[in-house]
Amino acid sequence: MIDRFPIARQPLAWKSVGAVAAGAALMLLLTINRYDYHRDELYFRIVGAHPKWGYVDQPPFTPLMVRLCIDVFGDTVWAIRIPGVLFVAGAAILLALVAREAGGGALAQTLAAAGVWTTFPLVAGHITITAAPDLVMWLLVILCLMRALLHDRPRYFLPAGLFAGLALYNKHLVILLLLTVVAGLLVVGPRRALLSKWLWAGAAIAVVVGLPNLLYQIANDFPQITMANALAENKGADARIMLVPMQLLWLGPLFVPVWVAGIVTLLRRPELRPVRALAVAYPLMLVLLFVVAGQPYYSFGLLAALFAIGAVPTARWVVRGGARPWLLGAGTVVNCGVAVVSSLPVLPIDVVGGTPIPAINQGVSDQIGWPRYVAQIKAVYDDLPAEDKPRTVLLTGNYGEAGSLDRYGKPLGLPDVYSGHNELWYLGRPPESATVVVLVSQGDPTRSPAFGSCVEKAKLDNGYGVDNEEQRARVFVCRDRKGTWAELWPGFQHFD
């Protein structure tokens, strides 16, 4: 048996927590329409138009959410970013609730909620990517686990299983959380929780709710494993190198002592012994990510929860007086201010290229230049002989380029665009009548086995001095196809 030291939950500080959540939402709304689409948003815009139970690189939730937003609000940048605003506001409240479960009062809850004013949540809230809904689902699972274990209310394992099952429709990363928490329970206890009928019932709920995901994976030869292997091969070395440094940057360097305090307080304070498995789960997750070459941000949901728990001892430290409230206040303002400037498009677009921000935050650089890129590709297409245009297609090596051409090219009269990148390969190959290809590639297609000739016609330039992937792309006109598209199309498939 584990000795229990009941934690008296403080009232939820609705006013201060609500102000933090509303402020973050307002900041996201003020910047929602600045710059342009992110490459992932352009990708989701295409694949979301083809509803499926899953895609080769991810489950269906985020692409279908993007499609729903377009259908309801229109085909605009701001329309598909509305959910991110809501997810970040919800994450602020959930972080406050996690701090409350750990015994935190108003100050601790408010500080915990301020965790959304940091680099990763702001990026995930501004750009419509899978990270924002994943953060909310992880925090819901963790909150339910804390209530089940801290207060001996095992029925909370049931909603934990429900949220875990629902999370599988967005990303499969919640499995990492469940595995490492179970490992933490085995290492530091309470092990008897693993024998609870409620825990196993929650696990069954997760399996049943997420079953369509599993069936999709089985029916399609486990594409997520294929994608994970491709990521490990293409980006694994960088992921391992940056794994630990990025843990120090996601919430900002000045907030590192807070989440470290969360780990320490879980391991030391008797009243938190039932959930100290969370402290063990975090390093276990980092080890697992290092082994499988997972991306550094995969651990953020758990890191955010540790930050919220660490807000409790931090608040106790502050109320001792002296210069401590000023230190916390100044540190929070500086930390969050830097995060806003580096994560959101607050600087003018013609200024940001002269700063280190695009190099630091690829999310910023990948929102710049799309209409200009499309205009440059259109100029190449317009130069084609009139007799060639009916048998010309666009082909890209990157889903961002394909997405921008799909969004901006059609109103300009450009032909259909195809790509072998990730899910786009499965949407179909060019028609056999397409004998001329305007190819956008970062490689050198002149040695391609698919075409007899490829002539370079342009090098893409966003005009703002921002280095993103398209700045390394060139536009070619390729002819003399060596075989049918049915024969050649498998060679264009690639994942990353």
Cis, bond preceding 190 (omega within 30 deg of 0): yes
Average pLDDT of the segment spanning 3-14: 77
Which residues, including other chains, have CB under 8 Å from residue 450's CB and lie 6 or more apart? 478, 481, 482, 483, 488, 491, 492
pLDDT recorded at residue 271: 92
pLDDT recorded at residue 436: 95
How far apart CA 131 and CA 125 sit, in angstroms, is 8
pLDDT digits (tens, 9 = 90+) for 426-467: 999 999 999 999 999 988 887 778 998 999 999 999 988 888
pLDDT recorded at residue 449: 82
pLDDT recorded at residue 189: 87
Average pLDDT of the segment spanning 30-57: 94
pLDDT recorded at residue 227: 83
How far apart CA 170 and CA 435 sit, in angstroms, is 39
Task: Please tell me which residue, 268 or 9, carries the higher pLDDT value.
Answer: 268
Which residues, including other chains, have CB under 8 Å from residue 490's CB and lie 6 or more apart? none
Q: Is the pLDDT of residue 2 over 70?
A: no
Choose among 272, 276, 305, 297: nearest CA to 115: 305
Query: Considering only 297-306, 316-325, 422-431, which range has the smallest mean pLDDT?
Result: 316-325
Q: Is the pLDDT of residue 3 over 80?
A: no
pLDDT recorded at residue 409: 94
Choose among 139, 198, 176: nearest CA to 288: 176
What is the per-residue burial (b if ≥16 Cβ within 10 Å, else e) of 247-279? Answer: bebbbbebbbebbebbbbbbeebebbbbbbbbb
pLDDT recorded at residue 494: 87
- Largest separation between any pair of C-alpha atoms in the chain: 83
pLDDT digits (tens, 9 = 90+) for 347-400: 999 899 889 998 888 899 999 999 999 999 999 999 999 999 999 999 999 999
How far apart CA 417 and CA 43 sit, in angstroms, is 12
Average pLDDT of the segment spanning 39-62: 93
**Mean pLDDT over all residues of the chain?**
93
Q: Is the pLDDT of residue 105 over 80?
A: yes
pLDDT recorded at residue 175: 94
Are 475 and 438 a contacting pair, CB within 8 Å?
Answer: yes
Q: How many helices (H) and strands (E) does the chain have?
A: 22, 5
How far apart CA 470 and CA 405 sit, in angstroms, is 13
- CA quadruple 420, 84, 38, 290: dihedral, nearest 10: -60
pLDDT recorded at residue 281: 97
Average pLDDT of the segment spanning 254-260: 96
pLDDT recorded at residue 66: 96
- CA-derived radius of gyration, the chain: 24
Q: Is the pLDDT of residue 1 over 60?
A: no
Choose among 154, 102, 476: nearest CA to 262: 102
pLDDT recorded at residue 6: 66
pLDDT recorded at residue 4: 55
pLDDT recorded at residue 196: 94
DSSP 154: G
How far apart CA 455 and CA 445 sit, in angstroms, is 9
How far apart CA 473 and CA 351 sit, in angstroms, is 23
How far apart CA 103 and CA 286 sit, in angstroms, is 27
**Token digits of residue 84:** 């991110």
DSSP 409: I
Are 433 and 474 a contacting pair, CB within 8 Å?
Answer: no
131-150 helix and 77-101 helix, angle to the nearest 10 degrees: 20
Are 113 and 93 a contacting pair, CB within 8 Å?
Answer: yes
How far apart CA 24 and CA 20 sit, in angstroms, is 6
pLDDT recorded at residue 214: 83
How far apart CA 248 and CA 39 sit, in angstroms, is 26
Choose among 358, 360, 180: nearest CA to 277: 180
Choose among 176, 191, 199: nearest CA to 284: 176
Q: How sure is the predictor about 5, in pLDDT bands with cuts at 50, 70 and 90? A: low
Average pLDDT of the segment spanning 159-179: 95
Give the other-Cβ count within 10 Å of 457's Cβ: 18
pLDDT recorded at residue 93: 98
pLDDT digits (tens, 9 = 90+) for 258-279: 999 999 999 999 999 999 999 9
Q: How sure is the predictor about 230, in pLDDT bands with cuts at 50, 70 and 90? A: confident
pLDDT above 90 coverage of the chain, percent = 81
How far apart CA 249 and CA 120 sit, in angstroms, is 9
pTM, whole model, 2 decimals?
0.94
Average pLDDT of the segment spanning 306-332: 93
| Beta-bridge partners for 479 | 453
Average pLDDT of the segment spanning 209-221: 88
Name the percent of the chain in helix, strand, coil, to the closest 5: 65, 5, 25
